[in-house]
Amino acid sequence: MKQLWIILGASSAMARAFARKAASEGADLILAGRDQDDLQAAVADCLLRGAASVTAMPFDTRDATSFAAILIAAARFEGVINAAVFAGSMPLQSEIDANPELAAGMIADNYMGPLRMLHELAPLLEDRKSGTIVGVGSVAGDRGRIKNYVYGSTKAAFHTYLAGLRNRLTRSGAHVLTVKPGFVDTAMTWGLPGMFLVASPTDVAEAIWQAAAKKRDVIYAPFFWRYIMLIIRNIPERIFKKMSV
Amino acid sequence: MRWKETEYSGWGRVLKAKGSLARPERISELESIISQGPAPAIGNLRSYGDAPLNGDGRAIAMTRLDRFIAFDPATGVLEAEAGVTIAVIMATFVPRGWMPTVVPGTAFATLGGCIANDVHGKNHHIAGTFGSYVESLVLAGADGVSRMVSEISEPAIFKATIGGLGQTGIIRSARIKLSRCPSTLMEVHEERIANLAQFIDAFDAAQSAFQVGWIDATARGEALGQGIFEEGQLYDGPPKLLRSRKSKAIPFNAPGFMMNPLIVRWFNKVYFGAVPMSGRNRLRRLEDFFFPLDRVHNWNRLYGKKGFHQFQCVIPTGAAATTLKAMLSKIAASGLASPLAVLKKMGPGRAGMLSFPMEGYTLAVDFPDREKARELIADLETLALDASGRIYLAKDSTSSAEAVLGMYSELIDWREIVNQIDPDGAFETGLVRRLNLRGRS
């Protein structure tokens, strides 16, 4: 059965690595994002790495009119429809503190846009009784921390949405995988202070691919963040509120 | 685009730089960086000394601009962005029957780095250097303008760019000619060699496409120059599956005593003893043959946090036997040598004005960073200079402007071309300043 992977936010380093993995497995690809020049370069790259077909399409989380063309292309595809959401943005907490209006764009990128897109895509997967949706959240969504809580709250909302969608799609045989990456070595984290245990996008993409194949529900990437976050989640609020982790 | 303030170093880790690094992931990001002003491009930091360093300045890490652009199966010409590594090219194209015609000793090198250092491989004696297979490249100059450069369109700039240490501009992408490879395997023959004279005879008699010698640089006296001669031919028989061996990583810096003479001598004894007296033939995966050290990630940490130097020189054929003997005697007597020195025969092939190779023999030896080691390297360099040989700039961390001027006969011509297209020295790196390669100081 042919497999279509719709990569939403395909220009990010993690998305690029995941698209390459899917290409090397012979998938059909839709690379969706804003930077069409960059996506055209990625089309050639993925074709040379073994993708059955690759199409670049415009996708803007803040502009729902960009969703329709992708949904039509998905509906026309004969085979299994899969999608992976890598779209997102992370202004610094200090920038948001200075200008709270910035939160609106981030909510659109990390939550509202992906939600609306996935909500329109979900019926297609239900109809075909197959397919996997990968949603990339963040360890930052596990607990509100002083350093990054506005971003974290958008990811927490997305996690909750994904959990509900999983609950829904599992009834028709489709599947939802929630991915919570720790620090990944991408443009988003490049040069930020306080980074540790930084994982390569290639390793994270490989972990996501394996987890999707095994129909895992929620993974941390790399895996050890499960234990770090287990501790962080279980610190009593009375103590946590005084910490600056 | 965020600039990262960081300390970084080449593979040898002795020379370090503090500076600002940008790492664009998209073409638009690279263009916005270039529009802010030119800066040298760096790759995967696999050259040893300060060739990829720009202390107190900016540099552009090209590793994320690593996409394939086009491949023509009729001609074998591959076009790719400069940050793609040899490892990725091979993983993608070897299963389809194509490989880079020349591959260096590590697959972690980037396409841009292979061109900027005009690297050579185990087939140099017949195939020449990496740059000989570059059809064209796209160069972003100091003026911020990108243009296609080839041997036909701009021969002078092309030859100044191949092996040109990034001084003509930022290599953004290149078209290289791949060669056919019939399988993913290499037929390898290994035999023990008793001394240096026998080594040179073995290289002269060998007919194979790929050749390399591993020397036990701790051996002295009668056994001076003993080691293993390894040759390979691409395997073209019925398909066979060899399992890939898992790579390992050195997780932290080894303590200083790791490279003490006793341990090194013990290691070499075990390593060389593994090949039976009668020699052996075996099939190996291409990457295991070409990149044996890549299996141990961060092997440079074995030298501890102080790092190490690699001395690599080439000696013209006529002087090779006597000069190499003198060098190996000095190295053995010093007790400083590390495991696995490399000896290889080189052909005349070189594609750029500052390319390292010349017809003769090349010797590469690692030394932990000590005062005595730096003195020894200076002595070895004098021997190379006296024999009309030269040292490899991609490995160097200790040489001097005078020595290099005497070794690279086209240096003056190269300077003129480079200083004309980059008059302000925007692409200068630590190595270029230390060795005054551009004659600007």
Nearest CA in chain B to A42: B67
Mutate to test the interface with A, among B28, B68, B85 (most CBs of A within 10 A): B68
Burial of B17 by CB count in 10 Å (0-12 exposed, 13-18 middle, 19+ buried)?
buried
Dist CA B314 CA B429 (whole Å): 24
Structure tokens at A12: 């990010």
A42-82: pLDDT as tens digits: 999 999 999 999 999 999 999 999 999 999 999 999 999 99
Q: Give the closest residue to A109 by CA, choosing from A164, A151, A68.
A: A151
A148-157: pLDDT as tens digits: 999 999 999 9
pLDDT greater at residue B242 or residue A133: A133
**How many residues are listed for chain B in this entry?**
441
Residues of chain A with C-beta less than 8 angstroms from the C-beta of B59: none
Say whether pLDDT at B201 is over 80.
Answer: yes
Residue B248 is predicted with a pLDDT of: 82
SS3 A199: strand
Amino acid present at B46: R
Phi and psi torsions of B342, nearest 5°: -120, 135
B297-344: pLDDT as tens digits: 888 888 888 999 999 999 999 999 999 999 999 999 998 878 779 999
When pLDDT is averaged across residues B33-45 and rounded to a whole number, the result is: 96
Contact, B49 vs B10, CB < 8 A?
Answer: yes
Which residues is B353 bridged to in the sheet? none
Residue B261 is predicted with a pLDDT of: 81
Dist CA B72 CA B52 (whole Å): 32
Q: Which residues contact B246 (CB under 8 A, 6 or more apart)?
A: none
B255-274: pLDDT as tens digits: 877 778 888 888 888 888 88
Q: Which residues contact B435 (CB under 8 A, 6 or more apart)?
A: B393, B396, B399, B400, B401, B404
Phi and psi torsions of A5, nearest 5°: -115, 120
A84-127: pLDDT as tens digits: 999 999 999 999 999 999 999 999 999 999 999 999 999 999 99
Dist CA B82 CA B77 (whole Å): 15
Name the packing angle between helices A36-48 and A13-24 (round to 10°).
30
B137-157: pLDDT as tens digits: 999 999 999 999 999 999 999
Residues of A with CB under 8 A from a CB of B: 11-13, 16, 24, 35, 37-38, 41-42, 44-45, 48-50, 186-187, 190-192
Task: Find the CB nearest A191 among B4, B26, B27.
Answer: B4
Residues of chain A with C-beta less than 8 angstroms from the C-beta of B92: 24, 48-50
Q: Provide the percentage of residues in chain B whose pLDDT is more than 90.
A: 86
The pTM (predicted TM-score) of the whole model is 0.95
When pLDDT is averaged across residues A6-12 and rounded to a whole number, the result is: 97
- The four Cα atoms A79, A122, A24, A12 give a dihedral, to 10 degrees, of 150
Q: Which residues of B328-359 are buried (b: 16+ CB within 10 A; e: fewer)?
A: beebbebebbbbbbbbbbbbebbbbbbbbbbb
In this structure, what DSSP letter does residue A184 have?
A: B
Contact, A30 vs A57, CB < 8 A?
Answer: yes
Which residues is B21 bridged to in the sheet? B4, B59
Mutate to test the interface with A, among B67, B69, B298 (most CBs of A within 10 A): B67
Q: Which of A68-77, B93-102, B117-126, B332-341 has the lowest mean pLDDT?
A: B332-341
Radius of gyration of chain A (CA): 18
Say whether pLDDT at B246 is over 80.
Answer: no
Cα B124 to the chain's mean position, in Å?
12
Residue B266 is predicted with a pLDDT of: 84
Residues of chain A with C-beta less than 8 angstroms from the C-beta of B5: 191
Residue B415's pLDDT band (boundaries 50, 70, 90)? very high
Output the CA–CA distances (angstroms, integers) from residue B419 to B113, B145, B158, B336, in the order listed. Answer: 21, 17, 15, 40
Q: Give the closest residue to B47 by CA, choosing from B290, B425, B309, B294.
A: B309
The overall average pLDDT reported for chain B is 95
Residue B165's pLDDT band (boundaries 50, 70, 90)? very high
Residue B299 is predicted with a pLDDT of: 87
Question: B23–A187: do the CB atoms touch at under 8 Å?
Answer: yes
Within 10 Å of residue B236's Cβ, how many Cβ atoms?
10
Q: Spell out where chain A has E strands.
A: 3-8, 28-33, 53-58, 80-85, 132-136, 175-181, 218-221
Q: Give the closest residue to B84 by CA, choosing from B64, B106, B105, B98.
A: B64
Question: A45–B23: do the CB atoms touch at under 8 Å?
Answer: no
* Residue A222: cis peptide before it, omega within 30 degrees of 0: yes
Dist CA B155 CA B134 (whole Å): 12
